[in-house]
Structure 1
Amino acid sequence: MNDQNPGTVMTVPEVAAYLKLANSTIYRLAKAGNLPGRKVGGAWRFSRVEIEGWLCERPLVDETQIAENKPQVL
C-alpha cells in the first residue's frame, strides 16, 4: 500500500502487512473487538488513523518482561 493519507481506509491484507501479522490474526482480533474496524458490505475495513491510535495504546513489551515470563526448562 503506497497511500499514506491518514484518512486511508485499509483492507485486511493491508492491515496485516502494516502490522506484520497474518490475515487470520487480523480477522481474529477484529471479530473479538480487539482491533478497531468495521464490516462494510461483508468485508472488514480499517481506518489508518484508528489503527495507528490502537498501536499507540498498546504497551511495549521489553525483553526483560519476556525473560521473566519465560518458563524455566530443566
Structure 2
Amino acid sequence: MTAAILNKDFVEQIEKAKENNSLIFFIGAGVTASQGYSSWNDYVRHLIEYWKYNFDKLKSEYPYKTDWISQLD
C-alpha cells in the first residue's frame, strides 16, 4: 500500500471513531516539550486560558450555536 492510501484509511478511521463517539487521544509527555512548555501543568494552563478566551468569543459571535459550550464548562 502506498502512503497516500494508508493516510486516507487512517483519516477515514478517525472520522468513523468521531461519528461513533469513540475517538480518544493519547498524549504523551513529549507534547509539552515540542510546544515549548516546561511542564504538562504549564501546557494545560495555556490551553485553559486559550479556550476560555475562544469560548467567550464564540458565545458573543454565535450565541445561537453555543448551547453545547455550557455543557462543557
What range is the shorter-chain TM-score in?
A: under 0.3
Larger Rg: 2
Q: Which has the higher contact order (CA 8 A, sep 6+)?
A: 1
TM-score normalised by L of structure 1: 0.26
TM-score normalised by L of structure 2: 0.27
Structure in which a larger fraction of residues adopt helix = 2
Structure in which a larger fraction of residues adopt strand = 1
